[in-house]
Structures are given as C-alpha cells and as structure tokens.
Amino acid sequence: MPQSWKRRLREDYGRRLQSLAHATGAMRCTAWLRGGGLRGAIILMYHSVAEGDARRFVDPRNHVPAAVFEQQAAFLAKHRTVVALSQMITMLQRGDAPAPGTVVITFDDGYLDNLTTVAPVLKRYGLPATIFLPTGYIDRAETQWIDQAYTMFERRLANRITWNDNRGEHCFDLDRPEDRRMAYQAICASLLTASADGRRTMLQLLQDGLGPTEQPPKLTMSWNDVRTLVLQYPDFDIGGHTTEHIDLTQTPVEQARSEFHNCRHRIQEQTGRPPRHFSFPYGRTSSTLRMMAADAGFDSACGGGNGDAVVRSFTDIYALPRVEAPATMKRFDILTSTANTGFWRRLGR
Ligand SMILES: [Zn+2]
C-alpha cells in the first residue's frame, strides 16, 4: 500500500477516534485526571481570508474562505471566551491560568483582506485580534513570497524548470502533477530559508524560468491601510513579525537582532504605538532568539513551544503555541477545545 494511503487511513481513524472522545466526554475526563482541568487558552493563527478573484493568487495553505471565517467568528463569539493577546499575557504574568474555553485570535503577514474582510466581521461580533506585520513587506506593500511563487506556478507558460538548491540541480517536468508538486515544495523550502536578498534573486529566477501570464493584485497592506485599521478598529492590536519575514534560525545573530529592533521601531514610527507582541516567522525559534525578543522590548512571542497546543499558567510567554485555523467548519469545535490536548490532539494530526 503506498505511503500516502497509509497516512491518510491513519489520519482518518485518528480523527474519528478524536471526535468520539470529544463527543463522549472522554477528552474532558482525561483533562481533569491530568490535573488543571479545562483551564487554558488556544491561540488561533490565520493568514488570508481573501474573497473573489484575489483568492486565486493566495497559496491555499494560507487561506480560509471569507464565508467560513464568518462562521468561525460566530462560533467563537457564542461558544468560546475570546480575549485579546495582551489580556492573556497580563493574566499569565500574574501567574493565573486562562479560564476554560479561552481563545486568542491572531493573523500573520499583513494581508489587505485583514482590513477589508476580517475587521468588519470581528467588529460585528465584538472580537479582538492581533495582526503580526513583517514591516519590510508593508513598506513595499509587497505580495508575500509564497503567493508570488504560487502565482508563478499557477500562471506559468513554461513546462519545465531547473532548480539548484543545497542538494544539487533538479530538473522538473511541470506537466506531471507529482513533479510539479515536488518542484513547488523544493522551491518553497529554498525561499523559506533564504536571506532577503537571496529570496529576491530566487524569485527573479523563478519569474524568468516560468514566465507567468498574470501578476497578483494588491494583497498586502500598506502603512496607510495599517493606520486605517488601527483607527477604525481599535480592538485590533499590531504585533511584530520581523522586517523581511525571514527564518531567524538561519540568520546571523547581529542581523537577527536588528530584525527585532527595526521591525519594532518601524511599527512605532508608523502607528504611534510600539508593538507589545511578536511572532516568529514559520514558528522557527530558539532560546537565543526568545531572549532577543525580550531584549528588544516585546512582552511575548508566538512560535516554538513544548508541543502542547494549549496555553497554561506555566507556559513560556516567549514560546506561545498556536493552532492553525482550518479552512472549513469541520472539527472547528474540537480544534478550539482546551480539553483537546496531548494524546488526543496528536491523534487528530
Ligand atoms: Zn509569517
């Protein structure tokens, strides 16, 4: 049996078992037996909720449809206690555990739809949220690298591409689905770990190699958009997400330090308020980077963690775990449950 089938079968059974444990109360029992009960918080991570034509240009892995997002917001308003990230951090700094069913909403990367689509929905339901901005991309209102790459692949003229990475040279036949999937995966892996300059060079090579027929529309906020967001929706908090959205674990120490400082400084300069919170790009972090975030003046940081998806009174506030928001309503109640932890959460992966 091919590996992918085996994996799918395992995932399917795991999720069924997880749903059963949730429905029968076995999950809640385990939480009580383990101690601490249901106290804790889930931090949800979103990216884009682009609607209409714009969604064709966003990598589906970073996208929740707008209609689904609205349903999720309605569910959270009715069945969960949504608090601002700052409120939860203040609670943790006092040594208190979040109340059962606490949820924090966060967005990464500064998508324009966060202003046009997300903010009105959250305002209607009275839900606070934090948006983490990579400030260099906001300076240039530049489309995220992943959506640039995605668009080039989707609108390509070329049917072959040659790509060099640290494992050598690869030639992919883009008319074959498996080759195309592998090419996209390999190229995204190179772009993710590249420096800002290296990434620019790679994107240009990709542009020249694939010859896309279309460019994405404006997908990223400018500083004017960010200021509009802050003025019109005061329940939105702005956080830092580096300047160049690079993998800090692959970045020389001094440059990493300036990513924290420059990002913080730029947000203060453009919005009038210093950001309190930070999120590590791609969740990649280390103990040194966590210390740098604290030294730069951030009160908390998302990313890393000890594998537990639930934030508890003893969780390191510079290694806050997050749960990626699903693109459907299916299992949303289970994913946002603080009883769903440890063995049960691993079953659903
Ligand atoms: Zn990001």
CA distance 63 to 46: 8
Q: Which residues, other chains included, contact 46 with Cβ-Cβ below 8 Å and sequence gap of 6+? A: 64, 69, 105, 106, 107, 108, 118, 325
**What pTM does this model have?**
0.92
Distances in Å between the Cα of 329 and the Cα atoms of 75, 90, 217, 334, 336 are: 9, 30, 28, 10, 11
Percent of the chain with pLDDT over 90: 77
Å from CA of 195 to ligand 1 middle: 15
- Digit-coded pLDDT (tens) for 93-137: 999 999 999 999 999 999 999 999 999 999 999 999 999 999 999
Å from CA of 243 to ligand 1 middle: 11
Å from CA of 2 to ligand 1 middle: 33
Domain map of the chain by residue range?
44-142+218-337, 149-210
The pLDDT score that the predictor gives to residue 1 is 46
Å from CA of 19 to ligand 1 middle: 30
Task: Tell me if residue 237 falls in helix, strand or coil.
Answer: strand
The pLDDT score that the predictor gives to residue 3 is 60
Q: CATH classification of 44-142+218-337 is 3.20.20.370, yes or no?
A: yes
Is residue 203 scored above 80 in pLDDT? yes
| Residue 281 near residue 62, CB atoms below 8 Å | no
The pLDDT score that the predictor gives to residue 44 is 98
| Residue 304 near residue 280, CB atoms below 8 Å | yes
Å from CA of 230 to ligand 1 middle: 20
Percent of the chain with pLDDT over 70: 95
Is residue 183 scored above 90 in pLDDT? yes
Å from CA of 34 to ligand 1 middle: 34
274 — phi, psi (to 5°)? -75, 140
- Digit-coded pLDDT (tens) for 43-68: 999 999 999 999 999 999 999 999 99
